[in-house]
Amino acid sequence: MKTISTVYSELKDILRKLYSSREAENIAKIYFEDKYNIKSINDNIFPPEFSKIIIEDIERFKNGEPVQYITGKAFFYDNFFKVDSSVLIPRPETELLVDLAIKYAKNIKSPGIIDIGTGSGCIALSIAQKVTSSEILAIDISPAALKTANENKDFLQIRNVVFTRSDFLKKSERDGLGDFDMIVSNPPYISPVEKKYMTDSTLKFEPDIALFPDSSNHMIFYEKIIDFAENNLRKNGIVICEINEFRVKEIKDIVSVSSFKFDIIEDMQNKPRILKLWK
């Protein structure tokens, strides 16, 4: 029988062939904690019932699959979210969007909020949990993503979010969504030319529809969000969107022809990350 530390070292050795040393360490730690709830690497026996699972998972690691899909969960803003290949893995950068949204939502009485492109539901559910007076409509084009989002809603026992299928790029569908005090979104914003900067693991396993707008115009979501906000944002409302750090000029060009004031907020790495709009 192998000990926990032996199995852990074997996994790290395999991961080191695929990732940097630091990443391999981090992934092995996440895997042991999130899959087996093993938080301390010691010389206790590695539970034999996990041996078959880890052999299968090692094949998935070798294939480049992200650890979050292998464990089936990702930690984001105080909670674990169920994730699978139907949804983008929530990114730590997106926590800044949630932080700002919560801060503003707390100043509004019973805020009506829409989350556009909700994926796992991580943004909508995190806001709903902290601002319990909010009423959130969270939309996505993908029925599979909405199923995952609803599972997260049930698991977290959150009531003030409704998930609905809607294609935001279709005006007829956008027009029926209603009016809101706050519009939040982390939309698909990567242009195909940026594929060369992305990891193989993201390209191979995360849904294309979550990454690349289904249009030759990679800024289309920002154009449609601003257009939607012009008509559907209530008085004193606010728009908070995650942006592509390499597209600030294009964002500014789009916003400058709108009626909104705007700010671009940097993340902890000093990268432009959030677009905030208000009147």
Ligand X SMILES: C[S@@+](CC[C@H](N)C(=O)[O-])C[C@H]1O[C@@H](n2cnc3c(N)ncnc32)[C@H](O)[C@@H]1O
Task: Decide: is 114 part of the binding site for ligand X (CB under 6 A).
Answer: no
Q: What's the closest the beta carbon of residue 166 comes to ligand X, in angstroms? A: 6
| Choices 28-36, 112-120, 227-235, 266-274 (CB under 6 A): range interacting with ligand X | 112-120
Query: Could you give the C-alpha distances from 48 to 36, 62, 192, in angstroms and in order?
Result: 12, 22, 45
d(CA 27, CA 22): 9
Task: Decide: is 88 part of the binding site for ligand X (CB under 6 A).
Answer: yes
> Count of residues binding ligand X (CB under 6 A)?
23
Nearest 5 degrees, angle CA 76-CA 74-CA 116?
60
Task: Decide: is 93 part of the binding site for ligand X (CB under 6 A).
Answer: no
Binding residue (CB under 6 A) for ligand X from 77, 168, 180, 205: 168
Task: Decide: is 66 part of the binding site for ligand X (CB under 6 A).
Answer: no
Query: Which of 85, 97, 21, 34 has its CA nearest to residue 273?
Result: 97
Binding residue (CB under 6 A) for ligand X from 66, 111, 187, 237: 187
Q: What's the closest the beta carbon of residue 120 comes to ligand X, in angstroms? A: 6
Q: What's the closest the beta carbon of residue 198 comes to ligand X, in angstroms? A: 13
Q: What's the closest the beta carbon of residue 123 comes to ligand X, in angstroms? A: 5
| Choices 184-192, 243-251, 255-263, 269-277 (CB under 6 A): range interacting with ligand X | 184-192
Question: Residue 23 has which token pair?
Answer: 């990443």
d(CA 71, CA 145): 17
* β-pairing verdict for 180-185 and 112-116: parallel
If the CB atoms of residues 113 and 141 are measured against ligand X, the closer one turns out to be: 141
d(CA 69, CA 87): 10
Q: What's the closest the beta carbon of residue 78 comes to ligand X, in angstroms? A: 15
d(CA 232, CA 183): 9
If the CB atoms of residues 24 and 118 are measured against ligand X, the closer one turns out to be: 118
Query: Could you give the C-alpha distances from 56 to 37, 50, 61, in angstroms and in order?
Result: 18, 10, 9
What's CA 191's distance to the chain center, in Å? Answer: 18
Q: What's the closest the beta carbon of residue 233 comes to ligand X, in angstroms? A: 18
Task: Decide: is 160 part of the binding site for ligand X (CB under 6 A).
Answer: no
DSSP 160: S
Contact residues for ligand X, defined by CB under 6 A: 87-88, 90, 94, 117-120, 122-123, 139-142, 145, 167-169, 186-188, 209-210
